[in-house]
Chains A and B, each alone.
Chain A
């Protein structure tokens, strides 16, 4: 165990080892070592530009889409190496779902949005699809609100509903891990509370890794918290400990609002 790490991860689902990340020539992540505990919520915090999104997007290889991006080091999902050419990216992204900062429903009906992941995987069975829609929307706490207009456009939903729809869409394919990149930053307080509640419910079935700007939110929803600063993992700890008595000076400065 390293000195910046006070978490004993007994059952890691994702293991990041010696991860370096470059956008062209600029290095965005420096030697990250981090294990994520299964069926727990892990929060990534840190000032803007410190590499939280970059780290998150490494986990489902969304950074492949960025021209000139380069990864060194190892990421293992359930023991399988992610950063190899042999890794089926499609399969990986099905196992590691993602919810974005800005909700991004497709211009289709609510129903079609939820089953998009199944459709592209070639699932045609109507009963399976119907069941998935209901289960996912219930899990995303959206079912009661939209069950009467499943076939209306998803673009008619409110901002908070859209974000929950995106969560439903992500969990419809039964991922093992759900990545959330500041899922509440564009939402009003009420919708934020709703989504936070949802995260707490989802932790039973999924492993959640959430990036957040909001310290209270991290404290409320997460079990473990990792603090990143300028691409370096500064401290990783049980959320309560990290917020109550951070071991690192930088962490303390950050969570007490002295910078960032």
Chain B
């Protein structure tokens, strides 16, 4: 027994167990997210359940649950057809169901609004039939839909044009306001030309808009008729259908195809249905850009501060205090940083910019409101201690001999720093940056008060001069998770999206850190002493 303790056996077990518990918890999290996230886009079968009372229900069986303490079971159906039934989901006791069948012609429609529709195709409107080449009803629908979608794409180009005209009108109005503010009279020739320009644009806007409306009305004539399980017919404009499929008769191949299409939509499309459907591109873009701008600020700032602390500052009471303070900064709750960001960056700096450069716009803020720049700055404040600590450690770990070797050859301190120390510390600095980026990617609280929004009307980067709009609000995956998971009116319908978004966020962090780790390993090979 004594030797058992002496050999340190128990310690091996304790440390091993600690590691296992940690790994296990992380694994469970990842597996839950993976399982739930990856399965979302796989088209599941749509069941027709006949009930004992004569009714029937059509929908996807989402899950089952024990009732009456395990004596029975109830199934949750996703029945869709929100405009008809009011709710997307319905619980049905298994004892009430007489039979479950999977009819081949059951069709699922993904729509722009009101969620999915479950039912059967009845027929197409004459206009729709005219643009389809024949074949059976489903084939006709497919062709007609493809045609309508093509037309709709053109309409969306018009949309972009409208947005751009609108932006230019806005800019002109701002200029006019600025001139008026400077005391020019409204009859001033410069203002008159601005007005004329704006009027021209307004006319252009009107005509474009009218053209668009007309085309939309025309497109709306292409409809198809569907019926739900209870026999209610619904005419639906083809342009409102995102896509449709018959899951019960789909081959594995077409299911895979469907899955991939959905995936592409997720990565490149915009959200719809209050973010519970469609793509996440704006949120992905916002997240990556946020982290990027954050790094742009916190990386140089942190590295420079660390260099000062380690290389130039005289070791003593003050430096030690600063070091402790920096370490503690990392422990402040992130919401506090958010509040500070709001007060200092948004109201302080942003407000001052507005008063100095855009006084004519007040009280409408330009920079004095949340935006991606302020959110990034807030995050860099939050992550800068991580960079400082990592850089300091990396610099401190460099053998004193190398430093002296450089100085002894007549190098200045600065030359030693840039030519020897920084390259040698770069792997450690990279580690700090990775940690900082991972931390920033996971923060939501400070963003909520410094500029993140549920739906941003435009990306922070677009084709309108000056192309980079750092004052704009932005979308973010982390906030997206919170928003659709807990703030959405239809939480049940949003659940799959929560998992997908989580998975995506994890993936983004993973990709960014893999790239950084790859870089770090390359540097490590070049700049560190091997064992000899």
Contact surface of A with B, Cβ cutoff 8 Å: 60, 62, 65, 67, 90-91, 93-94, 97-98, 100, 102, 104-107, 116-117, 119-121, 153, 155-156, 158-159, 166, 169-170, 173
Stretch of B215-223, B273-281, B401-409 lying at the A interface = B401-409
Say whether B407 contacts A62, CB under 8 Å. yes
B419 in contact (CB, < 8 A): yes
Stretch of B479-487, B500-508, B522-530 lying at the A interface = B522-530
- Enumerate 7 A-B pairs (CB-CB under 8 Å) in ascending A order: A67-B315, A94-B409, A100-B404, A106-B405, A116-B406, A119-B419, A158-B532
CA distance A170 to B410 in the complex (A): 10
Say whether B528 contacts A107, CB under 8 Å. yes
Residues of B within 8 A of A102 (CB): 399, 401
Between B399, B402, B407, B423, the greatest number of chain A beta carbons within 10 A of the residue's beta carbon is seen for B407
Residues of B within 8 A of A62 (CB): 404, 407-408
Q: Write out, one digit per residue, whether chain B residues 462-482 have a CB within 8 A of any chain A CB (1) or not (0).
A: 000000000000000000000
B424 in contact (CB, < 8 A): yes
Say whether A93 contacts B314, CB under 8 Å. no
CA distance A153 to B424 in the complex (A): 13
Q: Which of A90, A97, A104, A107 contacts B404 (CB 8 A)?
A: A104
Say whether A107 contacts B406, CB under 8 Å. no
Say whether A166 contacts B407, CB under 8 Å. no
CA distance A67 to B409 in the complex (A): 20
Q: Which of B314, B404, B408, B526 contacts A153 (CB 8 A)?
A: B526
Q: With A102-B399, A104-B399, A173-B410 given, can you name 17 additional A-B contacts, CB distance below 8 Å?
A: A62-B408, A65-B404, A67-B314, A90-B412, A97-B408, A100-B408, A104-B404, A105-B405, A116-B406, A117-B409, A117-B411, A120-B410, A120-B411, A120-B415, A120-B419, A155-B528, A170-B409
Contact surface of B with A, Cβ cutoff 8 Å: 314-315, 399, 401-402, 404-412, 415, 419-420, 423-424, 526-530, 532
Given known A65-B404, A104-B402, contact A120–B409 (CB-CB < 8 A): yes
Say whether B409 contacts A104, CB under 8 Å. no
Between A60, A97, A120, A169, the greatest number of chain B beta carbons within 10 A of the residue's beta carbon is seen for A120
CA distance A65 to B420 in the complex (A): 17
CA distance A91 to B408 in the complex (A): 10
Say whether B420 contacts A106, CB under 8 Å. yes
Residues of A within 8 A of B527 (CB): 107
CA distance A208 to B408 in the complex (A): 15
Residues of B within 8 A of A91 (CB): 410
CB distance from A154 to the nearest CB of B (A): 10
CA distance A116 to B405 in the complex (A): 10
Say whether A107 contacts B415, CB under 8 Å. no
Q: Which of B399, B410, B530 contacts A93 (CB 8 A)?
A: B410
Say whether B401 contacts A100, CB under 8 Å. yes
Residues of A within 8 A of B405 (CB): 100, 104-106, 166, 169
